[in-house]
């Protein structure tokens, strides 16, 4: 049976049977530091009898979050160092993030903005701050793409989203509006016809990027919500975070990527876990991520291949960190290339001797 209310603290998780009573006080200490929220749709996917449940691992707090490791920082991808005005992050020349809200329907335990999002953290953009952010975009002709993120922008009403999208629609040099969201899996019923309509504006192309990390998140209602978006002519892409104990095996990751493609969502990014405080227990090694990418390359259609990327700490942007299949050979202009079986081939192929 699907629970009807969003679970917002450890006591509610206890009542729902998702944590044992013995963990309550330590998890209350975690919840005092980082926001907790678990929607009915995602709570219903958790098997409470499985201590390693991959959905619980993403959303149910863990005492390990109280341990910060060396290198972990409050702003691991350097949003604040690239924020010229409130709500805008301008890291790359041709695109900006527009952070409308700092709340989400669910709070991921590995969130890279965990020090910014949640009740009592940063405020949503006021009307005046939004106007200043739009003025910034208007004044920078190199901005081709605006990415609505946060927090989760699809937590806003269709009316409010529509106002923002229409305002972006008046800026000649902005051609692309991209929306980053977890709502289609966390609260699929929110993806109403009115909300989908609000994302479109004449003369601009809208893309929706879904964040999901485990194939179980792609439920029938979640897939139907995505279909409502795609059927309206809005292409969808995916982003996932590589997480220990959630999707760090080839079978699970492959099923996730196939689930995206079956839902007409092109896999886009597989993020290496960011150095957010208290998230070491969920991060893998880069070598593990590369081995998984090799496994996907061998077994799945090219449609199912995301780019494995690392956001360089300090705000230096993303770089691909997937495995390389090409090596320079000893002879100038020659290479050795590896195929999907792991067999190596000279390129160009050696000339055959003629008789």
CB of 285 to ligand SF4, least distance (A): 21
User: By the 8 A CB rule, do 110 and 58 touch?
Assistant: yes
**Number of neighbouring beta carbons within 10 Å of residue 346:** 12
Contacts of residue 271, Cβ cutoff 8 Å, sequence gap at least 6: 239, 240, 241, 242, 309, 310, 311
Burial of 20 (0-12, 13-18, 19+ CB in 10 A): exposed
Residue from 108, 187, 218, 225 touching ligand SF4 (CB under 6 A): that is 108
* Catalytic pick among 53, 62, 108, 190: 108
Active site residue 104: yes
Residue indicated by tokens 């100038």: 332
Catalytic residue, candidates 111, 207, 216, 308: 111
Helix, strand, or coil here: 171?
A: coil
Q: Which range binds ligand SF4 by CB under 6 A, 10-18, 60-68, 100-108, 221-229?
A: 100-108
Q: Of 90-98, 102-110, 126-134, 201-209, which segment contacts ligand SF4 by CB under 6 A? A: 102-110
Query: Judged by CB under 6 A, does residue 277 bind ligand SF4?
Result: no
Question: Three-state SS for 154?
Answer: helix
The Cα 337–Cα 327 span in angstroms is: 6
Question: C-beta of 151: minimal distance to ligand SF4 in Å?
Answer: 6
Nearer to ligand SF4 by C-beta: 56 or 108? 108
Does the footprint of ligand SF4 cover residue 104 (CB under 6 A)? Answer: yes
Q: Is 109 in the site for ligand SF4 (CB under 6 A)?
A: no
Alpha carbon distance 18, 96 (integer Å): 39
Determine the interface stretch with ligand SF4 among 15-23, 72-80, 108-116, 195-203 (rule: CB under 6 A): 108-116
Tell me if 155 sits within 8 A of 103, measured CB to CB: yes
User: Is residue 117 part of the contact set for ligand SF4 (CB under 6 A)?
Assistant: yes
- Site string (206-245) toward ligand SF4, x via CB under 6 A: -----x----------------------------------
* 176 three-class SS: strand
> In the bound complex, what is the minimum distance in angstroms from residue 180's beta carbon to ligand SF4?
7
Per-residue x/- track, 180-209, ligand SF4 (CB under 6 A):
--x---------------------------
Q: Report in angstroms how near the CB of residue 269 gets to ligand SF4 at its nearest.
A: 13
Residue 72 CB neighbour total at 10 angstroms:
17
Interface with ligand SF4 (CB under 6 A), residue from 19, 27, 101, 111 = 111
Binding flag, residue 136, ligand SF4 (CB under 6 A): no
Catalytic residue among 41, 62, 152, 274: 274
Please give the full DSSP string across 205-261, using - where no structure is assigned: EEEEEEE--SGGG--HHHHHHHHHHHHTT--EEEEEE--TTTT-SHHHHHHHHHHHH
Footprint of ligand SF4 on 144-183 (CB under 6 A): 151-152, 182
Task: State which residue, 124 or 334, has the beta carbon closest to ligand SF4.
Answer: 124
> How many CB atoms neighbour CB 9 within 10 A?
16
57, 109, 113, 190: which one is catalytic? 113
Q: In what order do the strands lie in the sheet with 335-338?
A: 326-328, 335-338, 344-347
The CB density around residue 170, as the number of other CB atoms within 10 Å, is: 12
Active-site choice (3, 9, 33, 92): 92
- Whether 108 is a known active-site residue: answer yes
**Is 267:304 a contact under the CB 8 Å cutoff?**
yes
The whole-angstrom separation of Cα 78 and Cα 88 is 12
Active site residues: 91-92, 95, 104, 108, 111, 113, 274, 311, 318
Binding site for ligand SF4 (CB under 6 A): 104, 107-108, 111, 113, 117, 151-152, 182, 211
């Amino acid at each position: 049976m699907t629970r009807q209310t969003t679970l917002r603290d450890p006591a509610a998780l206890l009542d729902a049977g998702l944590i044992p009573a013995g963990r309550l006080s330590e998890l209350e200490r975690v919840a005092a530091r980082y926001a907790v929220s678990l929607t009915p749709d995602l709570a219903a996917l958790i098997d409470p009898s499985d201590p390693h449940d991959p959905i619980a691992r993403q959303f149910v707090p863990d005492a390990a979050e109280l341990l910060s490791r060396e290198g972990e920082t409050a702003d691991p991808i350097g949003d604040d160092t690239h924020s010229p005005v409130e709500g805008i992050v301008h890291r790359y020349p041709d695109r900006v993030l527009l952070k409308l809200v700092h709340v989400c329907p669910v709070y991921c335990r590995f969130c890279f903005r965990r020090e910014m999002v949640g009740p009592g953290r940063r405020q949503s953009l006021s009307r005046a701050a939004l106007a200043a952010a739009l003025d910034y975009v208007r004044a920078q002709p190199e901005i081709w793409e605006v990415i609505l993120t946060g927090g989760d922008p699809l937590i806003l009403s269709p009316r409010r989203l529509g106002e923002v999208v229409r305002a972006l629609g008046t800026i000649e040099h902005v051609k692309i509006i991209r929306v980053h969201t977890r709502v289609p899996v966390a609260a699929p019923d929110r993806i109403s016809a009115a909300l989908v309509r609000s994302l479109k504006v004449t003369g601009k192309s809208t893309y929706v990027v879904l964040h999901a990390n485990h194939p179980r998140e792609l439920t029938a209602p979640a897939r139907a919500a995505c279909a409502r978006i795609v059927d309206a002519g809005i292409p969808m892409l995916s982003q996932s975070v590589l997480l220990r104990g959630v999707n760090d095996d080839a079978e699970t990751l492959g099923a996730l990527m196939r689930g995206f493609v079956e839902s007409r969502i092109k896999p886009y990014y597989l993020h290496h876990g960011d150095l957010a405080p208290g998230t070491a227990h969920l991060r893998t090694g880069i070598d593990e991520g590369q081995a998984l990418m090799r496994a996907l390359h061998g077994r799945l259609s090219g449609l199912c291949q995301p780019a494995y990327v690392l956001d360089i700490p300090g705000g230096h942007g993303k770089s691909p960190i997937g495995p390389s299949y090409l090596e320079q050979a000893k002879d100038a202009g020659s290479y050795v290339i590896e195929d999907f079986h792991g067999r190596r081939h000279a390129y160009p192929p050696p000339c055959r001797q003629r008789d």
